[in-house]
Amino acid sequence: MANFARQILVLDSHYQPARILSLQAGFVLTYSGRATSLVDSPHTIRSVTSTWTIPWIIRLHNSPPKRARDRDGLRFSRQNVYLRDGHTCAYCGNKFGLSHLTLDHLVPIALGGKTNWNNIVTACKNCNSRKGSKTIEELGVRLSRVPQRPQYGPAVLFALRYNLHRGKIPTPWLSFLDPRSLARAKELKLSERTVAKW
């Protein structure tokens, strides 16, 4: 089980969860003046002459420029497609680590396929190279699910990204995490286990 007690919740300048970092990384962001501590942790760092409190929740002063997001703040990105698909290959139905995954266009770009939620699926490297530039009809593959834009927002993706359902979340963090999004992420993770094939 992940131990979030020794990690820092980083909020963007709009108070939205952005990252989870190690205590050390959060400490550096705060003491270098790039973030403000909103809630301090019970942990401290001591030198011979001083003691510093380590923050638990920090807010960045300048959030990185937002890349293209849709009306609900959802960003189409490699990481988010992998999260939507539960890191599971659309063709063989197996789960893989990041280094074995790729994105695949169902309708190849050469045939006018777009790079969007409806035409991109997670594929393992083997399946992707076997598929090449063929369409799924040519391959005779039938997908068990039609890819689409996730029916949930960035808060659920954040929970999925950090596997928040598997860790003990420090109580002060809960003020900044939407409970419905945490519950939805947990449901999605549980259904990944029961659906053998994507």
Footprint of Zn ion on this chain (CB under 5 A)?
89, 91-92, 124, 127
Give me the least distance between CB of 143 and Zn ion, in Å please: 12
How far is residue 183's CA from residue 191's CA, in Å, rounded to a whole number? 12
Q: Name, in order, each residue with C-beta under 8 angstroms of 183's C-beta and a sequence gap of 6 or more.
A: none
Nearer of residues 92 and 141 to Zn ion, judged by Cβ: 92
Q: Which residues are 52's β-sheet partners?
A: 45
Calculate the alpha carbon distances from 38 to 15, 159, 164, 168, 177 in Å: 10, 20, 20, 20, 14
Give me the least distance between CB of 151 and Zn ion, in Å please: 24
**Rg, the chain, Cα only:** 20
Q: Which residues are 59's β-sheet partners?
A: 11, 36
Nearer of residues 83 and 127 to Zn ion, judged by Cβ: 127
Give me the least distance between CB of 135 and Zn ion, in Å please: 17
Give me the least distance between CB of 116 and Zn ion, in Å please: 21
Nearer of residues 89 and 188 to Zn ion, judged by Cβ: 89
Nearer of residues 11 and 127 to Zn ion, judged by Cβ: 127
